[in-house]
Structure formats: C-alpha cells, structure tokens
Structure 1
Amino acid sequence: MSEQTPHTPRSLIVTLYGAHGRGFPGPVPVAELIRLLGAAGVDAPSVRSAVSRLKRRGLLLPAHTAAGAAGYALSDDARQLLDDGDRRVYGDTADGSGWVLAVFSVPESERARRHVLRSTLAGLGFGTAAPGVWLAPAGLYAEARHTLERAGCAGYVDLFAGEHLGFTATAEAVARWWDLPALAALHEAFLAEHEPVLRAWEAREDTPPTAAYRDHLLALDSWRHLPYADPGLPPELLPARWPGLRSAAVFRALHERLHPAATRFVNAS
C-alpha cells in the first residue's frame, strides 16, 4: 500500500497502520493516532486532516472502541493492500521463473480508463516492453491480479507468465523496460537519509522506545515506497554495485534493531 511521497501525514498514517495497526484489538482511537504520529513530528490537526482523506478513499472506516472512544478501523481493501505491502516490504518479490506480462487494449472512447490502467501498472512497478505490453517479475502476479480487479481494469487486460528468449540480452532489455538510473537515485536517497541513522544506532547499546519508534517509522515510511518503484528485479540483470542491495540491507538492519522497541512504545498507551 503505497503513497506517492514519504513522510507526509497521510503516508505516515498508512505506515503506522501497516506496522502496528493490524495488531490492535479493535479500531485505533483518534487520541492514540495523535500520540503515535506526534512522536514522529506530526501535529494533531494534520493527523485529523490526513485521516479524513483516507476515510474518503475508503481505506479507514470510522468506528468506536470497546470503551466508546472514537477511532478508525481498516477497511477490507486496506487490509489487502497492507498484506500485499508486507510481501513487498519484508519479502523478496524477485522470482527466477520469469515474468508476468500484462497486455491490454482500451478503446479510444475510454481514455480515462487507459490512464487508470497505466497508472495502476506503474504503481505496481511494472516496466514497459512495448505499447500496451507491460511486465514485472513473476512473483508479482497475485498482487497484480487483484489490484487490477480493484481498479476496475480486469476486463481490459490479459495476464501471461513467460520468459524472455531474445533477441537482446535480458539485462540490456531490462535497462530499456525500466529507468534504472532513476531507480538507483531512489535507493541512494534512502541511503543518504537512513544509513547514518543505522550507524548511530550501531554505536550505542541502549534502544530507547520513543527514539526507536520514531526512527523505525521514518525508515519504514521511506522504504515501503521503493519496492513499488524497483519491483524486485533479479540482481544478475542489474548494473554492478547496484545500490538497491545496500539499501535493502540497511532497512533490514534498522528493522531488526528498532522494531521490538518501537512495538513497546506503541503498546505503552
């Protein structure tokens, strides 16, 4: 479940629900959202405004806690998006078995649908092989299928599984299908922001929950966007010294170090 820009209030709320919200026994109280986002530097009015936008999109549903406090629960669509996001954020979408292809044709009279379809595929990390032919690592098939269904695009698309058999070397073709310099720049930006944070944590023995929660939330908020831009392309098809390998290692190290203490902070209400 990806927002366009990390560290906005809306993006941080999505990240918070992805990291911790599904573990709550019921709706997350508004006061608790304000506390948790406040620790990451978001003020209460911005939290309320971002929650309202997510409610309008159908991702958060207003509800009351068992104690009667106003709160918000995840919609079914939001839970599916977060489950898909878990596989991207914490897993490995690269699949050596080949590619999933999305081949589509949209009538000229439905230009808006064509835009939605292209935006949906781009948001999933698909590259463009030819007009109307998009592809991604085969491990993204299931997510692509139900994302296209949710977007109302399934009737315009055929999905195929396949291998690249030539004539260009696959590594050269991948460099055409994806903008690799732009993807590398995203990984470098993540490293510039979060690698110094990791080094600072490695230099200390204690892990204060408030600081751990803040740094973990910000790192996760930055990282969760990257697997949607770089969809797990096989390392052997990427340029030497690909920064994505280092950025993934930095994220994993931060997550392993900070997540337990961050969870203690969340549960300290």
Structure 2
Amino acid sequence: MAEQHTPRSLIVTFYGAYGRPEQGPVPVAALVRLLGAAGVDPPSVRSSVSRLKRRGFLVPARTASGAAGYALSEEARELLADGDRRIYRSAGATEEDGSWLLAVFSVPEQERNKRHLLRSRLARLGFGTAAPGVWIAPGRLYEETRHTLDRLQLGGYTDLFRGEHLGFAPTAEAVSRWWDLAAIAKQHEEFLDRHGPVLREWSNGPDLGPERAYRDYLSALDSWRRLPYADPGLPAALLPADWPGERAAAVFAGLHERLRDAGAEFVRG
C-alpha cells in the first residue's frame, strides 16, 4: 500500500528542510507551488498552514520584497533544532556509556492534561516503560530529555535518575518488555521497502533533475523524521539479530547526501 503523507506533516517537513530562518519567510504562493510539486493541492496547503498558525508553529511574516508569507515561530525553531540532532544522526554514530535514564513523574489530578503531555513527550523522546509510572531510555538521552522537559515547563513534575540494570532478567530480555521492538523494526522495514529503491535509482541511473530530487527528498525526510524517536538507538547487543535500524539510517543518510542540496535548487527556482 502506498505511504500516506499528510499535508500538515509535509509542510512541517518542508520547513525543517528548506524553511529555516536563514532562508527568510516563505511566500504563500511559493508554499502552494512547492507543496503542489509534492502532490498537495492548494486548498489543503492553505488549510494546513492555517492550522499550523493556530498551533503556534508558523507566524505571518513579510518577505524582503513585501510579499505575504510565513516563518517559523520561536518555539518551532527550538523544536526543529532539537530534532536535528536525531534526524540527521549518521548511521553508526550512537554513543553509549551503558547507563540507563529513568524518569518518574507525579502530576496533581487537577493538572492531568500535563500528565498526558508528559507521557506523550517521553514516548516521543524514545522512552520505554519499565513499570507503571517508570519510564526508561538509554543514558545518553539525558541532556535532550532535560532540555525538552525544561522547555515545556514540565521539569517540576519529574525526577530523573541514571543507573545500570542489575537483573534479574538478562538486559536483552528486559529490553524486549520495555519497548515493542517488533513494531519498531516494522517501521524500519517499511522505510527500507519504500525508500531503498529510490536510493538505488539515484545511485545507479542518470541524474533525474532538481524537481525529482526535491520530491524524493521531501518524501524520505517526512517518512524518516519520526523513526529516530520511535527507535531510541539501543546498543546492538541488546537487539534482535539483523536489526534493520542501521540499514534504514544508512539509506536516509544516502538520500540526504544526494538529494538535499539538489532539491534546494528547485526550491530556489
């Protein structure tokens, strides 16, 4: 079945790739044209931009020529900067010290919306569940976790601990309870099935031009950007044999190297 990219997700992905502050506000007409090249019709672009504006992700801004456009909000800039460290991580670049990070939180009942936000944010950071109310992640995620919780003003509800796993079950067995490894592996395999052939086509065939590079890169980035959060980057010794995560990361790295700058030519045009 063909992969589905929602208009709102593609717009967020576009801004992450080509709409950073140094590029200036993106004119509305350019957004319509560029998202149209990715298969999004003009009404869907406009309605998705309106929703992103209401959520505080985009803010109205004028371009240097005075045209109406949209730029990233300060919060969106921070969000994308946080994501860069994971999304553009090179295959095999994970550093491990063998420690685990535990997050335990307590939120008053009258603020249960923050409890939901905490749970969803920890899950999006890649935490697994060690026990009810006890979340776990590789120790190297401490700085990112602390920064994220501080930014969302959730640190006051949370205690963080760093330690080692001492049993009783082998750590590899415990990891398979803390995370749904089969579901994560399936996401990697789906990425490989869809985007692996695209990389081979670009590697083995003629140059397909800036527009095709832009379209293929936007699609790959939109698919990939969630995976480094679903997969916390566990040590290979704790994962099943033939884990597809590094192969998927290598395919994305190859597409990024080949297509990102070529796609920028189409955006500038």
TM > 0.5 between the two? yes
SS of 1:102's equivalent in the other structure is strand
Work out the CA distance in 2 between the residues paired with 1:206 and 1:200. Answer: 9
Do the aligned residues in 2 keep the contact of 1:9 with 1:46 (CA within 8 Å)? yes
Do the aligned residues in 1 keep the contact of 2:21 with 2:71 (CA within 8 Å)? no
Work out the CA distance in 1 between the residues paired with 2:229 and 2:4. Answer: 13
Aligned to 2:106: 105
User: CA separation of 1:114/1:25 partners in 2, compared to 1, >3 Å: closer, same or farther?
Assistant: closer
State the TM-score, normalized to the length of structure 2. 0.92
Do the aligned residues in 1 keep the contact of 2:21 with 2:72 (CA within 8 Å)? no
User: CA separation of 1:193/1:247 partners in 2, compared to 1, >3 Å: closer, same or farther?
Assistant: same
Equivalent runs, 1:205-244 vs 2, <5 Å: 205-244=206-245
Do the aligned residues in 1 keep the contact of 2:27 with 2:70 (CA within 8 Å)? yes
Work out the CA distance in 1 between the residues paired with 2:81 and 2:163. Answer: 26
Aligned to 2:42: 44
% of aligned pairs identical? Answer: 68
TM-superposed CA distance for 1:244, in Å, is 1.1
Work out the CA distance in 1 between the residues paired with 2:86 and 2:105. Answer: 24
Deviation sequence 1:102-157 (CA, Å, 0-9, x none): 11122344433222211111121110111111121223222222322343422210
TM-superposed CA distance for 1:78, in Å, is 0.6
Q: How many equivalent pairs are there? A: 264
Equivalent runs, 1:91-240 vs 2, <5 Å: 91=89, 94-97=94-97, 98-240=99-241
RMSD of the alignment, in Å?
A: 1.8
TM-superposed CA distance for 1:228, in Å, is 1.1
Work out the CA distance in 1 between the residues paired with 2:158 and 2:137. Answer: 14
Work out the CA distance in 1 between the residues paired with 2:252 and 2:105. Answer: 35
Letter in 1 for 2:39: G
Aligned to 1:7: 5
State the TM-score, normalized to the length of structure 1. 0.92
Work out the CA distance in 1 between the residues paired with 2:218 and 2:81. Answer: 18
Work out the CA distance in 2 between the residues paired with 1:6 and 1:238. Answer: 29
Aligned to 1:80: 78
Equivalent runs, 1:12-23 vs 2, <5 Å: 12-22=10-20
Which ranges of structure 1 fall in alignment gaps of 5 or more residues?
none
Deviation sequence 1:35-78 (CA, Å, 0-9, x none): 21111111111111111111111111111112111111111111
Aligned to 1:57: 55
TM-superposed CA distance for 1:166, in Å, is 2.4
Runs of 4+ in 1 over 4 A off after TM superposition: none
Do the aligned residues in 2 keep the contact of 1:59 with 1:78 (CA within 8 Å)? yes
Decide which moves more: 98-107 or 123-132: 98-107
Work out the CA distance in 2 between the residues paired with 1:44 and 1:143. Answer: 37
Aligned to 1:266: 267
TM-superposed CA distance for 1:224, in Å, is 0.4
